Amino acid sequence: MINDQLPLLLLHQFGKKEEALHVVFFLVLLHERVLWCKLVVKAQSKNKTKQNTTQHNTTKHSSKNRKRECTHTMTKGREGKGGGGGMKYVKLGYHLFITHLFTLFFMSLVLFGILSEVSLKLDDIWQLWEYHILKLDLLSLASSSLVVLLVFFTTVYVMSRPRTIYLVDYACYLAEEPLKVPMNYFLQHLQKFGLFDPQSIDFQQMILERSGLGDNTYLPSASHNIPPSSSMKISRAEAEAVVFGCLDELFEKTKVKPKDIGVLVVNCSLFNPTPSLSAMIVNKYKMRGNIRSFNLGGMGCSASVISIDLAKDILQSHHGGGGGGGGTYAIVVSTENITQNWYYGNQRSMLIPNCLFRLGGAAILLSNRARDRSRSKYKLNHVVRTHKGADDKSYQCVYQQQDEAGHIGVSLSKDLMVIAGDALKTNITTLGPLVLPLSEQILFFIILVARKVFNFHVKPYVPDFKLAFEHFCIHAGGRGVIDALEKNLQLTPELCEPSRMTLHRFGNTSSSSIWYELAYIEAKGRMRKGDRVWQIAFGSGFKCNSAVWQALRTIQPESQKSPWAHCISQYPVKIPEVYKFN
């Protein structure tokens, strides 16, 4: 009976389309009542007496009652936190409003368009309904159309969407105890080498004192010899120890067979023998003959992100392969070779890498198979790469060359930090719209227009990337790099802790450092399901590359084999501004 009378009531009250449109808009706004509750907090707090009275009154309408209860709860939270909590909820309300603004706008716009194009008036439709013309046909037409549209759009979505890339697991190399290099031991060896003049010894000591490195970093066995060895055979031995150590642990963790690997990407900047390191891996593990292998050289400390990007592109276009399930696995190996790239001269700009770079490596297993989601740790959301090589200063700021005495080394320019900052700005300009909430993007745009168009003298707005990420893995290139990013991105010391502790425990392990940092976060038990991680690295060329991951599950530290497992209880440690040598 009620259903039969409802159209008559609507026609009686709203005989025109324009009036019916207002009803629809009212229903849409009512649907967004939760958002409205949060937005009225600021207005409600200005009139507490009226608000308290309203909260204790009972009403006949359940929707209004829910609004008052929501407002009452949020107001109590504000009073408990004091005056500072007010701005917190104002900003929260702003973010929620902006986030839902376009949804509300487009819903209203679509409904307006539909109603404005309807040629039949409500009374005409009711007459047709009364004569049973539309009772059955309209229902069957709507249901069949809905099914057709659903099938069509589902097919288009499935066919066009890129495959999700999963990070199943990864492994970081942990060197043996005899390869540790305490700071005093390292400085004594520099003196015993007989290769450096007193000024160079003093300069390296000054760098070490302010480097942020600790007494537990590692160097390859060749660097412990006096004089140090740097033959091709010993360099290969270092590469095999690091790479095979990572891969053995990775295969053990994941229970994946080497024959199941369809893609292999290896990056090592300064050691590129023939056959390549990727061929060395294929030979060691007897991988299949149709594996797609790549060996990247000279790409610098950001090469691991580049390798991830290359593997991602191949996996997203590769629909067959090992293991079945309509997909395949990819392995990325990131390392650097210390043995053959130690600098034995006295040019200061080329001595810095001797003090910072240490032994390390990482192996990462990726998959494009949907069945691997349940056992994977992360999924890859974004990769953003920035290359500033077109500029001469950027190209030459990290440059391998010979000094006047013929010694080969990597020279670091004094402009390195400025160039890195410029590359970072370009990178986050591209990354920001992909990860930042709309509210931050609007604030950034308003300030940009005010500065560039209206010439207002206001400070540039730095987006709050803490709203986009829960964890940051900043390349442990040195204390200056971490300090600069912490300041420029307005990060907290806790967010930069993984980078500082990695630099202290393992030194600069080049492209693999971001994986030691991720392992630190996991070992501390901080990784929760849904958390987003920003890996950011800098490299020669000059390049700034970012990878964004999202955790698919909460990582339990006690169940993980980690390079931090034996010492995580000792961290974080307080790192002195200047290390004091005994």
Catalytically annotated residues: 301, 387, 471, 475, 504, 508
Cis peptide before 542, with omega less than 30 degrees from 0? yes
Which residue in 487, 460, 462 sits closest to 474, CA to CA? 487
H or E stretch at 423: helix 416-435
Rounded CA gap, 71 and 50, in Å? 12
Q: Is 562 helix (H, G, I), strand (E, B) or coil?
A: coil
CA proximity to 525, closest of 553, 497, 556, 547: 556
Tokens at 205, concatenated: 């000591």
Q: Can you tell me the distance from the alpha carbon of 502 to that of 236, in angstroms, rounded to the nearest whole number? A: 26
Q: Which two tokens stand for residue 402?
A: 């010979």
Whether residue 356 contacts residue 508, with contact meaning beta carbons closer than 8 Å, is answered with yes
Q: Are 315 and 328 in contact (CB under 8 A)?
A: yes
CA distances to 208, 345, 484 from 351, in Å: 11, 8, 22
Q: Tell me if residue 28 falls in helix, strand or coil.
A: helix
Q: Give CA 569 to chain center in angstroms.
A: 26
Helices of type H across 32-132: 33-39, 41-45, 48-56, 62-81, 84-117, 122-130
Instruction: Specify whether the CB–CB gap between 526 and 556 falls below 8 A.
Output: no
- How far apart, in whole angstroms, are the C-alpha atoms of residue 432 and residue 571? 32
Burial of 437: CB neighbours in 10 Å, binned 0-12, 13-18, 19+ = middle
Contact assessment for residue 137 and residue 321, using Cβ atoms and an 8 Å cutoff = no
> Which segments of 268-326 does DSSP mark as H helices, in order?
277-285, 303-317
CA–CA dist 484, 421 (Å, integer): 8
The residues that bridge with 533 in the sheet, in sequence order, are 471, 549
N residues, the chain: 582
* Residue 15 contacts residue 25 (beta carbons within 8 Å): no
* Contact by Cβ (8 Å): 480, 356: no
Task: Say if CB 393 and CB 419 are below 8 A apart.
Answer: yes
User: Can you state the angle between helices 493-506 and 479-488, rounded to 10 degrees?
Assistant: 170
CA distance 321 to 313: 15
Count CB neighbours of 16 within 10 A: 11
Spatial CA neighbour of 268 closest among 176, 407, 362, 387:
362
